[in-house]
Amino acid sequence: MSSDERFTDSGIEIKTVYRGADLKDFDEVTQLGEPGGYPYTRGVQETMYRGRLWTMRQYAGFGSAKATNERFKFLLGAGQTGLSCAFDLPTQMGLDADHPRAEGEVGKVGVAISSLEDMRLLLRDLPLAEVTTSMTINATAATLLLLYQLVGEEQGSTGAQLRGTVQNDILKEYVARGTYIYPPRPSMRLVVDSFAYCAKEMPNWNTISISGYHIREAGSTAVQEIAFTLANGIAYVEAALAAGLALDVFAPRLSFFFNAHNNLFEEVAKYRAARRLWASIMRERFGSTDPRSTMLRFHTQTGGSTLTAQQPENNIVRVTLQGLAAVLGGTQSLHTNGFDEALGLPTERAAKLALRTQQVIGYESGTADTVDPLAGSYFVESLTDEVEQRAREYIETIDKMGGSVAAIEAHYLQDEIDAAAYEFAREVERGEKIVVGVNRFIESEPTRADVFPIDEQQQQTQVARVRRLKASRENDAVRAALDDLGVAARGSANVLYPMKIALSRLATLGEVADVLRDEFGVYHAG
């Protein structure tokens, strides 16, 4: 690369100057449209943030359900407008806190939830009929969704009153993250069963958040992030249709989850291209006639992998730029990372500052005063076109392989991400990509920052809670309900109905997962 050349993180060449002639066959009416109208390049709402700001949804979850409940209340008191919950690895992997494989991981990267009792503590005194809640959970998504519904019902809320999102995107676990339990095809059945269940029982709940976030965290480019995410979205739609679900019944409840990195203009172009691409996929490929099914609604989280342990205060600037990109790109909700997250879980100070960052963008920057502020920029429109075209080419390749599930089984997506991550690391090593404080502008003084304190007794406390529960409940009733779940899993019935009964009788998350392990098997990456 010569000193005069510039490229985006996806390898798209950036010209010195852009003019109208650089827009390839640009047609403002068909490619941009109006805000709130097909193909949604300019946003999914007519007035965007002039009508209402995005949901400020800070991610929280650590240690015990009680501790996370206190953090939720702290953030709501600071002006947060939605809840977002992280779960620890045992919960994500379908293991109770007393399982030998849970040793050392209980409450470490999220909150430990083993039963309905834990969920009651997590949600105590929170107005579930009034707030929206996002739960980052995949292999055990159905279980956590039902536990949430059960607590909501105990509070007096109907399923129709409960609003939120369960991530439930198992395909990206095989691609980028690794918290899967069952093989891909039975896992897809659980996803589709949750679609059908929510259509009847929780109609205002977003049944999936198809996630590019973790694909990007694993090292993909911006183009790969939206290409692989939308390819996974196509696979979920096809699976739901194959199961007999009506497209315009489940499709309006699909949502997406994207990353925000530092290359401001490519990130804005990425979000605009993703909306346009999904709209055309849903209309032209699947024949949707409901505008709600063609709208790509998405949550954004700033890039955890971009944060540095060196000079951690620099992360405040990175997060601000990333949050600004998400807003300029038209996100529906946003999480901004704490500046200290490269060192540990975010402290209260860092979490509040991250929330204040969103509030400054929303109320002081002027970016919310007009719809799609960068529309018409020669550079942004050209970049939007190029990102869309390159993403289409990836999707076409995946289609030829038989779709996302087949491409994942062939390790194609994983290999593409690995190659991109390796190339980025090499560019940083060679100094071609500058990371301030890491390979340029380095300081000799060691980093000093407060680190989130870990309660070393939390595992023993949670193990004791699980064992007391198992000793005190009506175990015959639990076993009968788990047997019914096994029968449903062996057949074709929707497994969420017997699962809910088992959980209401205080079956644990691990016991439910064990039943499904027996019926579906366990996936081992080849």
What are the average pLDDT values for consecutive 10-residue runs of the chain, which has 526 residues?
A: 81 88 72 90 94 86 85 88 89 96 90 96 93 93 98 96 95 93 95 94 94 96 98 96 93 95 98 98 96 96 96 97 98 95 88 95 96 94 96 98 94 96 96 95 78 73 94 97 98 97 98 98 87
For residue 112, give the amino acid letter. Answer: A
**47 falls within a domain:** yes
Mapped onto helix, strand or coil, the DSSP state of residue 256 is: strand
CA distance 158 to 171: 30
CATH number at residue 305: 3.20.20.240
**181 falls within a domain:** yes
In the prediction, which pLDDT does 30 show? 65
CA distance 199 to 247: 11
What does the DSSP assignment read for 287-356?
A: ----HHHH---EEEEE-GGG--SSSTTHHHHHHHHHHHHHHHTT-SEEE---TTTTTSSPPHHHHHHHHH
Number of domains forming the structure of the chain = 1
The dihedral over CA atoms of 262, 264, 269, 274, expressed in degrees to the nearest 10, equals 40
CA distance 74 to 215: 31
**509 falls within a domain:** no
Task: Sort residue 33 into left (φ over 0), alpha (ψ -120 to 50) or beta.
Answer: left
**487 falls within a domain:** no
Nearest CA to 379 among 18, 2, 11, 7? 18
In the prediction, which pLDDT does 287 show? 97
In the prediction, which pLDDT does 388 show? 97
Q: Please name every residue paired with 163 in a beta bridge, in sequence order, or none if there are none.
A: 132
Q: Is the peptide bond before 39 cis (omega within 30 degrees of 0)?
A: yes
**13 falls within a domain:** no
Which two structure tokens, joined as six digits, stand for 273? 């291209």
In the prediction, which pLDDT does 455 show? 67
Residue 47: count of CB within 10 angstroms of its CB: 12
In the prediction, which pLDDT does 451 show? 65
For residue 165, give the amino acid letter. Answer: T
**138 falls within a domain:** yes
Task: Sort residue 384 into left (φ over 0), alpha (ψ -120 to 50) or beta.
Answer: alpha
CB contact at 8 A, 234 and 282: no
CA distance 168 to 250: 14
CB contact at 8 A, 172 and 215: yes
In the prediction, which pLDDT does 467 show? 96
Provide the domain limits for residue 379: 20-429
The dihedral over CA atoms of 20, 26, 28, 29, expressed in degrees to the nearest 10, equals 160
For residue 521, give the amino acid letter. Answer: G
Nearest CA to 469 among 517, 503, 518? 503
**398 falls within a domain:** yes
CB contact at 8 A, 461 and 494: no
Helical spans, DSSP H, in 374-504:
378-400, 404-409, 412-429, 458-472, 475-490, 496-504
Q: Which helix or strand (DSSP H or E) is residue 77 part of? A: helix 65-77
**475 falls within a domain:** no
CA distance 214 to 206: 19
CA distance 489 to 487: 5
Phi and psi at residue 402, in whole multiples of 5°? Answer: 105, 10
Burial class of residue 65 (count of CB atoms within 10 Å of its CB; 0-12, 13-18, 19+): buried
In the prediction, which pLDDT does 2 show? 62
In the prediction, which pLDDT does 78 show? 86
Q: Please name every residue paired with 208 in a beta bridge, in sequence order, or none if there are none.
A: 254
